[in-house]
Amino acid sequence: MTFNYIKTRLFCLSSKRVIKHPCNKNNQRQKSRASKLILLMLWISSTSLWAEKSTCIEALKFYDTATFVQQIDCLRQAAKIPGLSFAVVKDQEVLIAAGLGYAHKESGLRVTAQTPFNIASVTKPLSAVAALRMVELGQLQLDRPIAEYSQWSDFCHAFSEQPSIFAKELQCQSADHTLRQLLSHTATGMPGTRFSYNPVLYSWASRPIMAVGERSFSNLVDQYVLQPAGMLQSARTNRDLPLTEDLAQRLAKPYLLDSTGKIQRAPLPPPQGDGAAGGVISTVIDLAKFDIAYDQGQLISAQSRELMMTPTQLTGGKTAPYGIGWFVQDYQGHRLVWHSGWWEDAYSAIYLKVPEQQLTFILLANSEGVWWDNPLDSARVQDSEFAQAFFSTYIKDWVLPN
């Protein structure tokens, strides 16, 4: 196990907008903690941690960050993930950022907190921020039927005839679906009546947004999210927008497990359209910048953030476990706001917020090993053992499931 980029609160983000000066009067105490952490890292690096996932999670001491890192690497190795990076943000400062394992096993290139990954569906909150910024500017209306200003009706009827699980029960007779319904996954069945996670419809939400913005969706996300958040090592990519040569070379290469359980190099995901469901390449450092800018109100208003993190009201009085771009659930007395990312046989990710504690956990991996098969009709981040390791370390009195 190697640690290529790890610091405590002494870490300073490069964007002046994000952190003015994170170092404080506790500098010497933090240096001491950092030294102890480094010593533990050296000890861990000489220890084999190949184990079953269930043996990795133990009751951890509150804010025992060093042991938390050890648990994350134990889970990584148990899931046979070649490489991952992660960050913890507390009170709008990066508490820790680290890389574990390999970005490219064959060459021995190791992961750092600056290693870019395909973040898959963790793109969705970023897309939602761009959309809500346009709502704030008066350019978009969440509840206006999208068929009025896009080719939704044609797409809906054509897609509903496909064998995809995400086309099942899609009703297009009236075709009066709204952008809110696409961005909250409440468009399946009778629009607004139930929640069913649907990345295809979420992806298509970029079309009406582009129709109003009169630019590519990637350009809009760059303007309203990546640039103001200072995400200089991030980019959107699609069939018409390849990565820069530098970013493509530094991108963590994807891996899969073959039928014997052996780690094998996987092909890069094929280029997609300019959709809202995915398409972002980023690092945990840049996502930490996004998280801080998001919480500080630099991207959208507090009212828009609350809308994103509030369960969507369904017809009939029930609520969906999803706001706008975020899963939302209550567990052990805490509101948990999160999104997973999963590209089969390639990449996986988790982005988890505990808003009332100003606490965030971000993890990116170059295999599907982080994915925990969350159901399409509910939110169960507690089923992620990576999330449980985070909860046990940073939320006081957290109770591990049996």
Q: Is residue 400 part of a domain?
A: no
Q: Is residue 369 part of a domain?
A: yes
Cα dihedral: 307, 311, 317, 318 (round 10): 170
Q: Is residue 354 part of a domain?
A: yes
Half-sphere exposure of 239 (CA within 13 A, CB side): 5
- The residue-averaged pLDDT of 238-255 equals 97
Query: What proportions of the chain, in percent to the nearest 5, are helix, strand and coil?
Result: 35, 20, 45
What pLDDT is recorded for position 316? Answer: 86
- Token pair 């950092």 is found at 34
Question: What's the structural domain count of the chain?
Answer: 1
Strand ranges in 154-292 using DSSP code E only, listed in sequence order: 235-236, 255-257, 263-265, 280-282
What pLDDT is recorded for position 399? Answer: 85
Quick one: pLDDT band at residue 53, thresholds 50, 70, 90? low
pTM of the model: 0.87
Quick one: pLDDT band at residue 22, thresholds 50, 70, 90? very low
Q: Give the tokens for residue 41.
A: 């890292």
What pLDDT is recorded for position 56? Answer: 82
Q: Is residue 64 part of a domain?
A: yes
Q: Is residue 325 part of a domain?
A: yes
Quick one: pLDDT band at residue 59, thresholds 50, 70, 90? low
Longest dimension (CA), the chain: 66
Predicted confidence (pLDDT) at residue 299 exceeds the cutoff of 60: yes
Lowest mean pLDDT among 43-52, 59-68, 353-362: 43-52
Predicted confidence (pLDDT) at residue 230 exceeds the cutoff of 90: yes
- Token pair 């780690």 is found at 263
What pLDDT is recorded for position 60? Answer: 64
Does 10 or 365 have the greater pLDDT score?
A: 365
Range of the domain at 376: 27-129+214-394
- Token pair 């040569």 is found at 245
Q: Is residue 358 part of a domain?
A: yes
Residue type, 340: S
Lowest mean pLDDT among 23-27, 143-147, 306-310: 23-27
- The residue-averaged pLDDT of 339-365 equals 98
Per-residue pLDDT of 76-118, as tens digits, reads 999 999 999 999 999 999 999 999 999 999 999 999 999 999 9
- Between CA 84 and CA 82 the distance in angstroms is 7
Q: Give the tokens for residue 160.
A: 């509903």
Name the most confidently modeled range: 2-11, 265-274, 392-401. Answer: 265-274
What pLDDT is recorded for position 45? Answer: 37
Average pLDDT score, the chain: 88
What pLDDT is recorded for position 174? Answer: 74
Predicted confidence (pLDDT) at residue 11 exceeds the cutoff of 80: no
Contact call for residues 360 and 352 (beta carbons, < 8 A):
yes
Does 199 or 39 have the greater pLDDT score?
A: 199
Q: Is residue 122 part of a domain?
A: yes
Specify the CATH number for the domain of residue 51. Answer: 3.40.710.10
- Between CA 13 and CA 154 the distance in angstroms is 46
Q: Is residue 402 part of a domain?
A: no
For residue 196, the SS3 value is: coil
